Amino acid sequence: MFEIILIKDSLYWDQVVMSFKDHDVYYLSGYVKAFQVHGDGEPLLFYYHDAGLRGVCVFMKRDISMLPIYASLLTPREYFDLVTPYGYGGFIFEGDTSQKTFHVFQEAFVELLQREKIVSLFIRYHPQIENARYLPSLFSPVDVGKTIEMDIRSPEVIWNNLTSKNRNMIRKAGKLGVSICHGKGLQLFAVFKKIYNSTMDKDNASAYYYFEDQFYLSINNDFASNHEIFYALYGGKIVAMSIMLYANQRMHYHLSGSFWEYRSLAASNLLLYEAACWGSQQGFKTFHLGGGLGAKEDGLFRFKQAFSRSQGRVFSVGKCVVNADVYAKLVKMRETYDKNFDMNSLFFPLYRGM
- Give residue 265's pLDDT: 98
C-alpha 314/C-alpha 291 separation (Å) is 10
**All domains in the chain, ordered by first residue:** 2-139+323-352 (no CATH), 147-314 (3.40.630.30)
- Give residue 173's pLDDT: 98
Low-confidence residues in the chain, pLDDT < 70: 295
Q: What is the pTM of this model?
A: 0.95
Rounded to a whole number of angstroms, the CA Rg of the chain reads: 21
- Give residue 311's pLDDT: 84
DSSP letter string over 153-201?
SSHHHHHHTS-HHHHHHHHHHHHTT-EEEEE-SHHHHHHHHHHHHHHHH
**Element (DSSP H or E) covering residue 107:** helix 99-115
Instruction: Give me the phi and psi of 134, to 5 degrees please.
Output: -85, 140
Q: What is the largest CA-CA distance in the chain?
A: 63
Q: Which of 340, 306, 60, 9 is nearest to 164 (CA)?
A: 306
Amino acid letter for position 152? I
Distances (CA, A) of 225 to 25, 28, 258, 273, 280: 11, 11, 25, 22, 17
C-alpha 33/C-alpha 45 separation (Å) is 12
| Residue 115 burial by Cβ neighbours in a 10 Å radius (0-12, 13-18, 19+) | exposed
